Amino acid sequence: MAVEHVDGKDKGNVMLFALSTCGWCGKTKDLLRQMGVRFDYVFVDLLEGKEQDDAMNTVEKFNPHGSFPTLVIHDKLAIIGFREQEIREALGP
């Protein structure tokens, strides 16, 4: 899976499932960058076939609607959509 890595403060495992064309996904990515958090992200629309299916199954495990952005923190908490305050609370200083 084409996972991109962004370096920053270690807050544990932070994984962003996003779409390359989505405005809210872009805002979420910008917020994490601005907060200086270390995270990984993947553009699910750029994956193909089984890789995309596997990624969707993972997204749906945390967010049954399978919508984007889905931010998975520590493999258990999911923040769905660009929810700035929730993201800041979960990963703030």
Partner 1 sequence: MSFTGINESDVDRMYLTLKKEAEDGGYRLNPDVDFTKNLIRGLLKNEQRYGYRACPCRLASGRAAEDLDIVCPCDYRDMDINDFDACYCALYVSDAIAQGGKTVSSVPERRPPRSDRGKRTAVHTISTGPVPALPLPVWRCRVCGYLCAREQPPGICPICKVTKDRFERFI
Q: Which DSSP helix (H) or strand (E) runs through 63?
A: none
The three-point CA angle 56-81-89 to 5° equals 120
The three-point CA angle 33-39-41 to 5° equals 95
Among 12, 20, 36, 92, binds partner 1 (CB under 8 A): 20
Q: Is 83 in the site for partner 1 (CB under 8 A)?
A: yes
Pairing of strands 70-73, 14-18: antiparallel
Chain position carrying tokens 């399978």: 66
Q: Is 51 in the site for partner 1 (CB under 8 A)?
A: no
- Closer residue to partner 1 in complex, CB, 3/46: 46
Q: Is 65 in the site for partner 1 (CB under 8 A)?
A: yes
Q: Is 56 in the site for partner 1 (CB under 8 A)?
A: yes
- Closer residue to partner 1 in complex, CB, 9/21: 21
Question: Total binding residues for partner 1 by CB under 8 A?
Answer: 21
Binding window for partner 1 (CB under 8 A); candidates: 4-12, 33-41, 79-87: 79-87
The amino acid occupying position 72 is: V
